[in-house]
Amino acid sequence: VVHDDGRSGKGRMVAFGRDLRDSVALQRRLIESQQAMERDYWKFRHAETRYRHLFQVSREAVLVVDSGTRKILEANPAAARLLGDGGASSLVGQVFPCGVDARSAENLNLLLAGVRATGRADETRVELLEARGEVLVAASTYRQDRSAHFLLRMSRAQAEGGRHRFVVRAA
């Protein structure tokens, strides 16, 4: 701003400035975007909490297995009870198949190879170690974080009049 001192009688004033309306509008959009992202983040967190809860309380044995390394990434308590003596954390990191006899392990490897190749869900029967019985293993595949995973669901076979019946229980 330039201002004449007024002695000459010419009260001149010069002002320089910038129109900040575009900047203010941009800042407002940024704040709105940040608020929307925070709302989406909390929705995601609530959905993840619900998923974790369902995963933990499900009566059906569920494993999440990395399709490349075949390492168990997640196991619920029902899977730990079905496959071993330890908790779910004892299964995480083990190479799948585990807890099944050698012939069943071969069948599971063929099942996983087929599911990975076709992308279609499939299932097979397997015999658990230490005479723990027979189970039906249903396998499907999904992608997450640029890698493929297997979702394995296991249901215990129950004898019924000399035949086996597979029971799938909802949590």
Encode pLDDT of 112-164 as tens digits: 999 998 888 888 888 888 777 888 999 999 988 889 999 999 988 765 444 44
Q: What is the pLDDT of residue 98?
A: 85
Encode pLDDT of 11-37 as tens digits: 678 888 888 999 999 999 999 999 999
Rounded distance, CA 169 to CA 171, Å? 6
Rounded distance, CA 151 to CA 157, Å? 19
The alpha carbon of 92 is separated from its chain's Cα centroid by a whole number of angstroms, namely: 15
Contacts of 54 (CB under 8 A, 6+ apart): 171
From residue 10, give the alpha-carbon distance in Å to each of 16, 140, 166.
Answer: 19, 86, 100
Q: Residue 120: CA atoms inside 13 Å, Cβ hemisphere, count?
A: 3
Task: Find, among 57, 80, 69, 50, the residue nearest to 116 by Cα.
Answer: 69
Q: What is the pLDDT of residue 71?
A: 94
